[in-house]
């Protein structure tokens, strides 16, 4: 009798503790699903929509009738914001400018110390971001700069030559089929955007013949982006899973990518450190090395390892994300040929065919600009933004957010919110134009590059390149379907750290 009583008592206490664990949340924390031991609410999210976690969390937000939901991913307490005001409030709240130490961020660094820009916070992040942005600007990053525009023009000329004449070097076979006019996306644009960016950082362009390493870098960069998710997959929750399931956990591919990317930039950095001569400033790297030689406080982070990871972070989006967004623009131009025709009309009027489009033309081409903006809204490259973290106890949308909570701004939810866009499901560049057909920036309340102090550091560079490459392509070519091809299906675009279309080949025709 006593035994039965004791077993019942222990069971009741156990069930009570389990129940408390599942539903307990800090006072004033946003509503959300219960949590399971070890996994938190992550398994529920996988069950709701394992392909698109940002959609799964949006479903939870609807389920709980709250634009902000609170949940657990493993041991991480998370709050996700789903409406325009909330997203702005979060991104402009400096108490939310931290970054969580997800396993994904640690594993990029062979020293297992979180360095770089993306996953840094505090003084080191501030100093590094400020320094890099300040001095990359001297070489044309984030502003109008004739020399850089000439380099981009040369890159685009090479790109068009590659389309017309087909691959000249082995590594170009990954980009274009022999005979030309058939390109592989989303790979194709990335080596050219990467090289434009490298010319800012190194003050030199890598010649086409020597681009094999860059093409490999792009491949592995895409592999990294595709094998993660908004929360760093199960690896963030149970990092030891990598020893048991190195393939299915994504670890093997992520690790292969990280190692190649790190070595690529480490080689550059080391070569520059070895040949550094303080009497001759060759490029941005020399400015950074000069800073390393000053005896600055350690917290500022001017050392070799931070240098490498800072470069990785400032370059990764240029050799992955940019080309992916361009590929998604191509998808829409193929699905909506009338939009492509209208852009071509604008190009013919403003640029003609005797020269490539320049940034000078951009203001005069509102429909083109509106199309790019509409694509950035509908195919939000970073749907859950890069995760932020509360650096101290704070508030969001009237809820209490304790220190160390991971806070996510669902740019996807904001960009597909009927309350903001009325018909978010329709691709309609006109929504950003006024009655006279002029671009009306007030109507573009989308935030594809985030906002606040953590705003994308490459926004201007990215917008410039999206314009220059999209228009150069449409000036010269039509996107068509070869026999056996079908129109892109954007519902098959895959979710990783960024959204990206599966590899596909596109047929071009001379205009």
Rule CB under 6 A: which residues touch ligand HEM?
Answer: 91, 117-118, 129, 197, 313-314, 317-318, 321-322, 325, 381-382, 385-386, 448-450, 454, 456-458, 461-462
Residue 437 neighbours by CB under 8 Å, 6+ apart: 366, 367
Residue 360 neighbours by CB under 8 Å, 6+ apart: none
Angle between helices 321-335 and 190-202 (to 10 degrees): 150
Q: Consult the annotation and say whether 456 binds a ligand.
A: yes
Minimal distance, residue 407 CB to ligand HEM, in Å: 10
Minimal distance, residue 238 CB to ligand HEM, in Å: 26
CB nearer to ligand HEM: pick between 56 and 456: 456
State how far the Cα of 12 lies from the Cα of 73, in Å rounded to an integer: 27
Minimal distance, residue 283 CB to ligand HEM, in Å: 16
State how far the Cα of 323 lies from the Cα of 317, in Å rounded to an integer: 9
CB nearer to ligand HEM: pick between 197 and 362: 197
CB nearer to ligand HEM: pick between 82 and 197: 197
Q: Would you give the DSSP letter of residue 80?
A: E
Which residue minimizes CB distance to ligand HEM?
458
CB nearer to ligand HEM: pick between 155 and 313: 313
Which tokens sit at 28? 């004033």
Strands (E), 265-363: none
φ and ψ at 509, to 5 degrees? -130, 140
CB nearer to ligand HEM: pick between 176 and 456: 456
Minimal distance, residue 463 CB to ligand HEM, in Å: 8
Minimal distance, residue 373 CB to ligand HEM, in Å: 11
Residue 368 neighbours by CB under 8 Å, 6+ apart: 343, 346, 347, 362, 467, 470, 471
Which tokens sit at 465? 């390149």
Minimal distance, residue 204 CB to ligand HEM, in Å: 17
Question: Quick count: other Cβ atoms within 10 Å of Cβ 241?
Answer: 17
Residue 143 neighbours by CB under 8 Å, 6+ apart: 137, 460
CB nearer to ligand HEM: pick between 64 and 262: 262
Which residues are registered as beta bridge partners of 401? 394
Minimal distance, residue 324 CB to ligand HEM, in Å: 8
State how far the Cα of 87 lies from the Cα of 67, in Å rounded to an integer: 10
For the chain, what is the largest distance between any 2 Cα atoms, rounded to a whole number of angstroms?
96
CB nearer to ligand HEM: pick between 373 and 454: 454
* Binding region: 456
* Binding region for heme: 456
């Amino acid at each position: 009798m006593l035994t039965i009583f004791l077993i019942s008592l222990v069971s009741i206490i156990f069930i009570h503790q389990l129940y408390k664990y599942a539903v307990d949340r800090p006072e004033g924390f946003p509503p959300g699903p219960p949590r399971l031991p070890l996994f938190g609410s992550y398994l529920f999210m996988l069950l709701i929509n394992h392909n698109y976690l940002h959609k799964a969390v949006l479903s939870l937000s609807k389920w709980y009738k709250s634009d902000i939901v609170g949940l657990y991913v493993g041991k991480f307490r998370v709050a996700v914001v789903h409406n325009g005001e909330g997203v702005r409030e979060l991104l402009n709240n400096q108490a939310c400018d931290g970054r969580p130490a997800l396993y994904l961020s640690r594993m990029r660094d062979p020293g297992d110390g979180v360095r770089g820009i993306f996953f840094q916070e505090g003084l080191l992040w501030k100093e590094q971001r400020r320094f890099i942005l300040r001095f990359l600007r001297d070489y044309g990053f984030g502003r109008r700069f004739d020399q850089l525009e000439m380099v981009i023009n040369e890159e685009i000329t090479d790109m068009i030559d590659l389309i017309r004449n087909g691959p000249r070097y082995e590594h170009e076979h990954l980009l274009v089929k022999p005979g030309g006019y058939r390109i592989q996306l989303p790979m194709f644009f990335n080596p050219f955007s990467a090289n434009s960016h490298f010319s800012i950082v190194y003050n030199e362009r890598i010649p086409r013949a020597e681009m094999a390493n860059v093409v490999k870098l792009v491949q592995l960069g895409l592999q990294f982006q595709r094998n993660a998710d908004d929360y760093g997959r199960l690896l963030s929750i149970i990092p030891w899973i990598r020893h048991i399931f190195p393939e299915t956990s994504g670890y093997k591919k992520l690790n292969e990518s990280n190692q190649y990317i790190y070595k690529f930039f480490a080689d550059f950095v080391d070569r520059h450190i070895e040949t550094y001569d303080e009497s001759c400033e060759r490029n941005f790297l020399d400015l950074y090395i000069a800073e390393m030689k000053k005896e600055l406080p350690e917290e500022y982070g001017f050392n070799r390892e931070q240098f490498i990871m800072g470069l990785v972070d400032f370059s990764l989006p240029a050799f992955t994300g940019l080309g992916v967004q361009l590929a998604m623009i191509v998808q829409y131009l193929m699905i909506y040929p009338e939009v492509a025709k209208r852009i071509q009309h604008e190009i013919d009027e403003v640029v003609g065919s005797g020269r490539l489009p320049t940034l000078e033309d951009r203001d005069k081409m509102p429909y083109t600009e509106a199309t790019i903006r509409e694509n950035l809204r509908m195919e939000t490259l970073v749907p859950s933004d890069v995760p932020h973290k509360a650096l101290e106890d704070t508030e969001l949308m009237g809820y209490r957010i304790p220190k160390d909570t991971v806070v996510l701004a669902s740019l996807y939810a904001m960009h597909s919110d009927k309350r903001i866009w009325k018909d978010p499901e329709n691709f309609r560049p006109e929504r950003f134009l006024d009655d006279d057909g002029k671009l009306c920036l007030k109507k573009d309340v989308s935030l594809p590059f985030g906002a606040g102090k953590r705003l994308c550091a490459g926004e201007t560079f990215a917008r410039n390149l999206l314009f220059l490459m999209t228009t150069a392509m449409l000036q010269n070519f039509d996107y068509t379907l070869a026999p056996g091809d079908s129109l892109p299906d954007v519902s098959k675009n895959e979710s990783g750290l960024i959204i990206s279309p599966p590899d596909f080949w596109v047929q071009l025709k001379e205009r």
